[in-house]
């Protein structure tokens, strides 16, 4: 007479082989996993150091938000929700899995209410994960979202592998469900009290199927289900580190150790201060081992989801850069050169073998990839490090050598003379309307307007400078400019890998800023803003002009004339104001304060803003592309129904105005800088009759 | 001044180069009383043809013939010249690829002074010859004095001296071939590789829209193509555009590119360096557009406009198109 | 192969506005940015590439003063093994022949298989290379835009000639070549590289050490002397159109039609 379905330990105790079997499975499984992990960790021990153990509470916060909270996932609604469900299911079921493995399930007493809730939840979790797997397979094989596609130059895709992994997870759920269902079917047939199975869940459904099975069969299925789950679990455990599923293990760490400060760059070597850099033999990343351990961890953590490349402006126009493959290629390199068995082979040059030069120079450092990645994989630091390596080797495109040389000899990429840097304020028509102080020792002020190179020297961008100083003047700010003493902020110099030249520019600027005695800095150039805020140290706090204007508007100190020309405006978020520094609302608040303003948002706005094409040295680089990045952006503005693009960055202005011409939209679309628009719309008192100066409208 | 003046005659396939006539004018500036002697070095019937034609410009034509000169190898030719040219002479050579190769070394072997790329000659003062040269890519000029007491080798900018009008001279040929003896040199000619044909032959177009550095980037060249299309012209360029790989070499006008003889030449964003202008022959009507009012091109152009070509050209193209659509109606 | 590159430090024409000084005897030099003559830079890069293929070392030499050392350091940062500054008061005012005389003395103190110079500098002289070769009795080729090492005794060189064609010759070593721009893509020299060679010693031989007779060089010996700088009175030049852009376009179209430039 059978009393009850025998539990696994009972069966096991009856069959000594079974006990040994499971012992072997577990020991082998864990042992293999340990070995595999040790091999996978091997290159990290040869990597460069990376200081990521600071600010642990902030890091835990990120883990809560991005790992546990899956914060980034819903940005792609369908796949995101699925992943959240699967992830939640895994977390919930993991507790159960551990209990089963350790044989604790029957012996641990759990308060009944909790136990009941858990019973319901676990069954639905199992079911939802299973269904998600089915949907996922359908997406992979039938829907085939374009971002998963592998361009031929990167090799072949692995759809079979993806489906295999999805199937294995489904199998895990099935094994678990069979294990539970068979027991309940057994109990049902014998009229015993049935364990709880949530209605319409997978195990519930299987129980109904199994109701007609014989009791010995059920015993076998019960045992078999456990075995299946056990084997699949350990197989997956050991298989995951060989592909994109490795992110299951590494994601917690890639998020915990993620970069905390936007807009910053990693130093050439962590722990080596600037004045000791001469002793560093080689700058930048030239071989795989030059990456830091966190970067290597990133390579492992990539889930190959393609969201980064899907948002990359360079990738969108056919430049040879795809962030996703930057990572996948490096990961495959690591797998190849640090194999499971045999010696590690290392030291191969990355540029020319793994990466093409153009691949690395194509990046505009817009940060869209980093903003999108659910695993917080970093890209900009890696690209800058690779560029540092190329610069160190003298391997710089000819088109960039000239502006770099000019930056070195004249402090600006145009080769214009230092003494002409302030000529834009001495313009014949402008000077009488607005006197601008040059902070040259004789004059002082409490605010510095940091103009930077393009606004100082470019005929078109000078108008942004003039609009900015007119605004500052109107607000009664006591400000001045550095004139010839101001060198290029060096923002792109640094991001193009010329660290030494950057430091020289920075040091000169810091000295000039300190000597001027200013208490705060204002700039209309987001690249300068980012540089002064993040790349420079020990200087007064810096703001972008949009922040200054927004504050004054909110305080009621700035009033605007209405705009009534019937134009539809859209605001383009510059990468270094928006995404990198999260100033999204101030410019919009300013625009919305203009009476009669009709403003629309482009689909890609705020942190999803689409780069204009890049600034600084990127304007000199000659990429191979199918279309200009700026043209894409202008098309987006047209799609949104706008005919005026407002931006807050001189480089965006260059690219967008250029793109308007190239796209053939001249006359139908115009661009204006926020400062220019504000200057144009400020409600000023009419000049007194004795004044001869005329305020030039924008 | 009693030095004899010689003019080195460049020739190809039996035809003397335009510089042959220009050197007569240059020689006259050095010493109007000393008619120059032409030196023509080469081989075969072509050489005789050249000598005969040059007799219309020079009273005396020295012919040096040898199979060794089937191809003009400057190293060999220098050795020949050293054998025949008397000490203390002034030798004039056109300043281009052959002259650059030949002249400096020749001056050393003749123990003569050397001055290159002369634009104008102001005459003599004592033992010194006063000439004008340019520096800094043509941005400034300099007066230079060259001491002629032991002779000189002078290279002359092609086109700088206008051929003189006047009745042809009835010169005679003197065969100096016997004086050179056997010649060897450490450099031996192998072959000439012709420039790649390219899809457009700019030498065949009557109107050229030519772009220089001022076009700023490859993507902007489209505006030149549009104008060219509207005008039925072809797009050509100066050297920097080819060096930057924005256009093929076959489109380059200049001393190291093609020589063109269009009716109209529209120079867009071209500074006017002489190497570029050297490729422009036949006295075309030159319209120059350049942002820099001091660009040397405005010296040689017929009409000049100070403007940004990136703005000017599209508007220009639109106007031309408008005109055509009007006239078609 | 031991390669010597003769280089010069010149005002960078593209980064300066060249203006005549008030006295008219020179250009304004106060605000000038100097760099290695662009042609010479191509020559150094070519030398480095040859040496990377066949072994050997590259020496860069210049005749000048303390200020000229910076180009030697820059080229050493690029990869040249040695930099030499030949300096002596006796050299002041030398013409091209004088410079070639000085360089000849230096060449004869060493053993170089190949000597490179740039075709010219912005003063358009294009002379030192040819003169040096003749003084040394080495074969010479100018306007070189391609070099192939055939063996230890011979090179194959390609010269740029009219019409974009290329003249190919064989030349015996040792020889002198003047290098044309565009022969290669010079590598980048970063500030860091220059700092790293900042304290490498640079020998500075004098006239006496090289056995140069001062009477053969310097201002007194120069047969060619620059008298002044001037900007020629603009003479006829172009007829400048001064109207608005629209007016100018109309005028141009009118002229084009007259000259047969419109189809």
How big is the A-B interface in CB pairs under 8 Å? 7
Residue B289: predicted pLDDT: 94
Q: What is the ipTM of this complex?
A: 0.91
More confident residue, B199 or C65: C65
Q: pLDDT category, A168, cuts 50, 70, 90?
A: very high
CB A174 within 8 A of CB A204: no
Q: pLDDT category, A109, cuts 50, 70, 90?
A: low
CA C254 to chain centre: 45
Q: Does the pLDDT at position C248 exceed 50?
A: yes
Q: Does the pLDDT at position A470 exceed 50?
A: yes
| pLDDT, mean of residues A59-65 | 97
User: What span, in angstroms and rounded, lies between the C-alpha atoms of A410 and A417?
Assistant: 6
Residue A1: predicted pLDDT: 42
How big is the A-C interface in CB pairs under 8 Å? 57
Interface test with A, best of C191, C197, C199 (most A CBs within 10 A): C191
More confident residue, C25 or C33: C33
Instruction: Return the residue of A nearest to B246 by Cα.
Output: A622
User: What span, in angstroms and rounded, lies between the C-alpha atoms of A420 and A601?
Assistant: 39
Q: By percentage, how much of chain B surpasses pLDDT 90?
A: 65
User: What span, in angstroms and rounded, lies between the C-alpha atoms of A609 and A172?
Assistant: 41
Residue B39: predicted pLDDT: 97
Give chain C positions within 8 Å (CB) of B74: 140
CB C218 within 8 A of CB C98: yes
According to DSSP, the residues that pair with B267 across neighbouring strands are B210, B288
User: What span, in angstroms and rounded, lies between the C-alpha atoms of A256 and A64?
Assistant: 9
CB contact under 8 Å between C134 and B109, yes or no, is: yes
Among A681-690, B202-211, B313-322, the minimum mean pLDDT is found in A681-690
Q: Is the dihedral of CA A366, A372, A378, A383 positive or negative?
A: negative
Taking a contact as any Cβ pair under 8 Å apart, which residues of chain B between 119 and 178 contact chain C? 130, 133-137, 139-147, 150, 152
Q: pLDDT category, B328, cuts 50, 70, 90?
A: low
Could you tell me if residue B138 is left (phi over 0), alpha (psi between -120 and 50 degrees) or otherwise beta?
Answer: left
CB A617 within 8 A of CB A645: no
More confident residue, B308 or C25: B308
What helix, strand, coil percent values describe chain C, rounded to 5? 35, 25, 40
- Burial grade of A350 (CB within 10 A; 0-12, 13-18, 19 or more): buried
DSSP string, A337-376: HS-SSS------BSBTTTB-HHHHHT-----HHHHH-TT-
Could you tell me if residue B151 is left (phi over 0), alpha (psi between -120 and 50 degrees) or otherwise beta?
Answer: left
Residue A694: predicted pLDDT: 43
What helix, strand, coil percent values describe chain B, rounded to 5? 35, 30, 35
Interface test with B, best of C135, C223, C227, C237 (most B CBs within 10 A): C223
Q: Which fold has domain A274-392?
A: Fumarate Reductase Iron-sulfur Protein; Chain B, domain 2 (1.10.1060)
Q: Does the pLDDT at position A689 exceed 60?
A: no
CA A422 to chain centre: 38
Q: pLDDT category, A695, cuts 50, 70, 90?
A: very low
Residue A363: predicted pLDDT: 97
Residue B324: predicted pLDDT: 79
Residue B63: predicted pLDDT: 96
| pLDDT, mean of residues C104-128 | 94
User: What span, in angstroms and rounded, lies between the C-alpha atoms of B55 and B170?
Assistant: 6
According to DSSP, the residues that pair with C57 across neighbouring strands are C2
Neighbours of A434 (CB within 10 A): 17
pLDDT digits (tens, 9 = 90+) for B8-38: 999 999 999 989 999 999 999 999 998 999 9
Residue B219: predicted pLDDT: 82
Q: What is the mean pLDDT of chain A?
A: 91
| pLDDT, mean of residues A34-47 | 95
pLDDT digits (tens, 9 = 90+) for A233-258: 999 999 999 999 999 999 999 999 99
CB contact under 8 Å between A395 and C196, yes or no, is: no
Residue B138: predicted pLDDT: 76
Give chain B positions within 8 Å (CB) of A662: 219
Residue C231: predicted pLDDT: 82
Q: Does the pLDDT at position A596 exceed 60?
A: yes
Distance from CA of C19 to the nearest CA of B (A): 8
Terminal CA-to-CA distance of chain C, rounded, Å? 59
Among A111-115, C32-36, C229-233, the minimum mean pLDDT is found in A111-115
CB C126 within 8 A of CB C119: yes
Q: pLDDT category, B273, cuts 50, 70, 90?
A: confident
Residue B300: predicted pLDDT: 87
Residue C135: predicted pLDDT: 97
Distance from CA of C60 to the nearest CA of A (A): 18
Q: Does the pLDDT at position C234 exceed 70?
A: no
Distance from CA of C192 to the nearest CA of A (A): 6
Residue A638: predicted pLDDT: 96
Segment holding A662, helix H or strand E? helix A650-662
Phi, psi of B267 (to 5 degrees): -95, 110
Instruction: Return the residue of A nearest to B218 by Cα.
Output: A622
Residue A402 touches chain B, beta carbons under 8 Å: no
Residue ranges and CATH numbers for the domains of chain C are: 2-221 (3.40.50.620)
pLDDT digits (tens, 9 = 90+) for A295-346: 999 999 999 999 999 999 999 999 999 999 999 999 999 999 999 999 989 7
Q: Does the pLDDT at position B185 exceed 80?
A: yes
What Rg value do the Cα atoms of chain C yield, rounded?
22
Phi, psi of C120 (to 5 degrees): -160, 180
Residue A249 touches chain C, beta carbons under 8 Å: no
Pull the structure tokens for residue C96. Answer: 């091209």
Interface test with B, best of A317, A399, A665 (most B CBs within 10 A): A399
Question: What is the domain partition of chain A in residue ranges?
Answer: 8-256, 274-392, 410-681
- List all chains that touch chain B, counting a touch as 3 or more CB pairs closer than 8 Å: A, C
- Burial grade of A425 (CB within 10 A; 0-12, 13-18, 19 or more): buried
CB contact under 8 Å between C165 and B288, yes or no, is: no
User: What span, in angstroms and rounded, lies between the C-alpha atoms of A103 and A12?
Assistant: 11
CB A585 within 8 A of CB A562: no
Instruction: Return the residue of C nearest to B248 by Cα.
Output: C164
pLDDT digits (tens, 9 = 90+) for A247-294: 999 999 999 999 999 999 999 999 999 999 989 999 999 999 999 999
Q: pLDDT category, C205, cuts 50, 70, 90?
A: very high
Q: Does the pLDDT at position A692 exceed 50?
A: no
Q: Does the pLDDT at position C36 exceed 70?
A: yes
Among A144-148, A480-484, A575-579, B245-249, the minimum mean pLDDT is found in B245-249
Q: pLDDT category, A101, cuts 50, 70, 90?
A: low
Buried b (16+ CB within 10 A) or exposed e, C180-203: bbbbbebbbbbbbbbeebeeeebe
- Burial grade of A337 (CB within 10 A; 0-12, 13-18, 19 or more): middle
Taking a contact as any Cβ pair under 8 Å apart, which residues of chain C between 12 and 41 contact chain B? 13, 18, 20, 27
Residue ranges and CATH numbers for the domains of chain B are: 5-179 (3.40.50.620), 202-328 (3.40.50.1220)
Q: Does the pLDDT at position B69 exceed 50?
A: yes
Q: By percentage, how much of chain C surpasses pLDDT 70?
A: 98
Q: pLDDT category, B228, cuts 50, 70, 90?
A: very high
Q: pLDDT category, A697, cuts 50, 70, 90?
A: very low
Residue A139: predicted pLDDT: 92
| pLDDT, mean of residues C243-262 | 86
Q: Does the pLDDT at position A565 exceed 60?
A: yes
Among A166-180, A193-207, A451-465, C143-157, the minimum mean pLDDT is found in A193-207
Residue B322 touches chain C, beta carbons under 8 Å: no
pLDDT digits (tens, 9 = 90+) for C147-170: 999 999 999 999 999 878 899 999
More confident residue, A196 or A36: A36
Phi, psi of B118 (to 5 degrees): -80, 135
Residue B200: predicted pLDDT: 83
pLDDT digits (tens, 9 = 90+) for A8-26: 666 555 555 677 888 888 8
Residue B199: predicted pLDDT: 77
């Amino acid at each position: 007479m059978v009393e009850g379905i025998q539990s696994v330990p009972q069966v096991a105790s009856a069959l000594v082989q079974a006990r040994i079997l499971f012992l072997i499975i577990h020991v082998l499984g864990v042992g293999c996993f340990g070995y595999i992990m040790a091999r996978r960790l091997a290159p990290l021990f040869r990597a460069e150091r990376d200081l990521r153990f600071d600010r642990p509470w902030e890091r835990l916060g990120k883990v809560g938000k991005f790992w546990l909270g899956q914060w980034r996932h819903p940005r792609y609604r369908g796949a995101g929700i699925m992943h959240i469900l699967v992830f939640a299911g895994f977390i919930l079921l993991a507790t159960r899995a551990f209990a089963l493995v350790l044989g604790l399930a029957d012996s641990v007493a759990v308060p009944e209410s909790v136990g009941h809730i858990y019973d319901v939840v676990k069954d639905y979790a199992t079911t939802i994960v299973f269904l998600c797997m089915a949907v996922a397979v359908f997406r992979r094989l039938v829907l085939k979202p374009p971002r998963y596609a592998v361009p031929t130059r990167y090799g072949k895709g692995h759809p079979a592998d993806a489906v295999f992994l999805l199937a294995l997870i489904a199998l895990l759920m099935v094994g678990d469900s069979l294990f539970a269902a068979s027991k309940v079917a057994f109990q049902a047939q014998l009229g015993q009290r049935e364990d709880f199975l949530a209605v319409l869940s997978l195990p519930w459904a299987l129980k109904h199927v199994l109701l007609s099975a014989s009791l010995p069969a059920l015993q076998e299925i019960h045992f078999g289900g456990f075995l299946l789950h056990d084997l699949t679990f350990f197989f997956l455990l050991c298989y995951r580190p060989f592909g994109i599923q490795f992110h299951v293990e590494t994601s917690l760490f890639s998020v915990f150790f993620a970069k905390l400060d936007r807009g910053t760059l990693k130093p050439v070597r962590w722990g080596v201060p600037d004045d000791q850099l001469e002793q560093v033999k080689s700058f930048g990343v030239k071989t795989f081992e030059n990456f830091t351990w966190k970067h290597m961890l990133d390579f492992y953590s990539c889930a190959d989801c393609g969201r980064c490349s899907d948002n990359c402006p360079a990738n969108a126009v056919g430049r040879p850069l795809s962030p996703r493959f930057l990572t996948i290629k490096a990961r495959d390199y690591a797998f190849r050169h640090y194999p499971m068995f045999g010696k590690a082979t290392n030291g191969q040059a990355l540029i020319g073998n793994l990466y093409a030069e153009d691949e690395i120079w194509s990046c505009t450092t817009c940060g869209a990839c980093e903003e999108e990645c659910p695993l917080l994989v970093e890209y900009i630091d890696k690209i800058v490090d690779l560029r540092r390596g190329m610069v160190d080797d003298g391997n710089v495109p000819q088109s960039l050598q000239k502006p770099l040389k000019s930056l070195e000899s004249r402090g600006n990429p145009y080769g214009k003379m230092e003494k002409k840097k302030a000529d834009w304020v001495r313009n014949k028509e402008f000077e009488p309307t607005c006197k601008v102080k040059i902070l040259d020792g004789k004059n002082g002020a409490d605010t510095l307007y940091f103009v930077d190179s393009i606004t100082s020297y470019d005929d078109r961008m000078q108008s942004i400078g003039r609009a900015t100083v007119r605004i500052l003047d109107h607000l009664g700010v006591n400000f001045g400019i550095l004139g010839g003493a101001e060198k290029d902020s060096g923002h792109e110099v640094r991001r193009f890998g010329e660290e030494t030249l950057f430091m020289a520019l920075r040091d000169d600027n810091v000295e000039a800023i300190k000597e001027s005695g200013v208490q705060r800095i204002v700039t209309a150039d987001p690249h300068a803003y980012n540089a002064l805020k993040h790349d420079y140290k020990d200087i007064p706090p810096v703001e972008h002009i949009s922040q200054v204007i927004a504050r004054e508007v909110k305080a009621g100190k700035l009033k605007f004339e209405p705009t009534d020309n019937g134009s539809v405006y859209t605001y383009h978020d510059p990468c270094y104001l928006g995404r990198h520094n999260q100033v999204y609302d101030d410019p919009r608040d300013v625009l919305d304060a203009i009476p009669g303003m009709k403003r629309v948002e482009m689909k890609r706005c705020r942190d999803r803003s689409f780069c204009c094409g890049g600034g600084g040295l990127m304007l000199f680089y000659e990429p191979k592309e199918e279309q200009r990045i700026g043209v894409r952006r202008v098309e987006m503005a047209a799609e949104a129904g706008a005919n005026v693009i407002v931006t807050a960055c001189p480089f965006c202005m260059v690219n967008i105005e250029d793109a308007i011409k190239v796209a053939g939209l001249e006359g139908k679309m115009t661009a204006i800088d926020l400062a220019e628009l504000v200057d144009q719309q400020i409600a000023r008192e009419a000049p007194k009759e004795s004044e001869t100066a005329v305020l030039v409208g924008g | 001044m009693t030095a004899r003046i010689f003019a080195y005659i460049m020739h190809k396939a039996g035809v003397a180069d335009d510089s042959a006539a220009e050197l007569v004018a240059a020689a006259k500036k050095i010493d109007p009383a000393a008619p120059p002697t032409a030196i023509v070095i080469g081989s075969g019937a072509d050489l005789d043809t050249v000598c005969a034609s040059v007799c219309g410009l020079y009273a005396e034509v020295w012919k040096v013939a040898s199979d060794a000169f089937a191809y003009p190898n400057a190293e060999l030719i220098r050795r020949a010249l050293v054998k025949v040219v008397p000490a203390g002479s002034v030798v004039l050579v056109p300043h281009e690829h052959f002259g650059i190769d030949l002249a400096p070394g020749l001056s050393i072997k003749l123990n003569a002074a050397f001055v290159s790329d002369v634009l104008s000659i102001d005459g003599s003062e004592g033992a010194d010859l006063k000439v004008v040269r340019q520096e800094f890519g043509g941005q400034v000029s300099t007066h230079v004095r060259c001491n002629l007491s032991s002779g000189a080798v002078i290279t002359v900018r092609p086109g700088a001296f206008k051929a003189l009008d006047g009745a042809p001279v009835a010169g005679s040929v003197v065969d100096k071939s016997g004086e050179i003896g056997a010649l060897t040199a450490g450099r031996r000619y192998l072959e000439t590789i012709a420039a790649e044909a390219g899809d457009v032959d700019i030498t065949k177009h009557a109107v050229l829209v030519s772009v220089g550095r001022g076009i700023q980037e490859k993507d902007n060249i489209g505006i030149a193509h549009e104008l060219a299309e509207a005008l039925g012209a072809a797009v050509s360029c100066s050297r920097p555009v080819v060096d930057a790989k924005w256009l093929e070499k076959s489109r380059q006008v200049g001393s190291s590119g093609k020589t063109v003889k269009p009716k109209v030449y529209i120079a867009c964003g071209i500074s006017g360096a002489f190497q570029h202008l050297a490729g422009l022959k036949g006295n075309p009507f030159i319209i120059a557009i350049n942002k820099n009012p001091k660009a040397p091109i405005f010296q040689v152009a017929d009409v000049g406009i100070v403007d940004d070509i990136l703005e000017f050209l599209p508007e220009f193209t639109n106007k031309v198109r408008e005109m055509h659509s009007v006239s078609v109606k | 192969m031991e390669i010597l590159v003769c280089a010069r430090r010149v005002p960078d024409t593209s980064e300066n506005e060249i203006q005549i000084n008030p006295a008219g005897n020179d250009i304004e030099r106060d605000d000038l940015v100097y760099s290695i003559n662009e042609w010479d830079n191509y020559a150094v890069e070519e030398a480095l590439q040859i040496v990377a293929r066949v072994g050997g070392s590259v020496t860069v030499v210049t005749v000048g003063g303390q200020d000229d050392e910076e180009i030697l350091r820059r080229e050493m940062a690029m990869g040249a093994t040695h930099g030499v500054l030949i300096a002596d008061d006796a050299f002041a005012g030398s013409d091209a022949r004088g410079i070639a005389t000085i360089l000849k003395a230096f060449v004869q103190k060493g053993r170089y298989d190949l000597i490179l110079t740039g075709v010219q500098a912005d003063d358009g002289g294009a002379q030192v290379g040819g003169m040096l070769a003749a003084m040394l009795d080495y074969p010479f080729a100018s306007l070189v835009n391609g070099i192939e090492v055939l063996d230890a005794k011979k090179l194959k060189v390609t010269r740029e000639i009219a019409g974009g064609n290329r003249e190919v010759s064989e030349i015996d070593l040792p020889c002198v070549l003047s290098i044309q721009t565009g022969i290669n893509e010079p590598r980048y020299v970063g500030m860091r590289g220059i700092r790293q060679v900042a304290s490498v010693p640079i020998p500075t031989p004098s006239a006496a050490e090289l056995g140069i007779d001062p009477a053969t060089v310097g201002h007194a010996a120069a047969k060619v002397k620059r008298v002044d700088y001037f900007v020629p009175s603009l003479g006829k030049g172009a007829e400048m159109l001064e109207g608005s852009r629209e007016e100018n376009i109309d005028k141009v179209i009118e002229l084009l039609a007259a000259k047969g430039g419109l189809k």
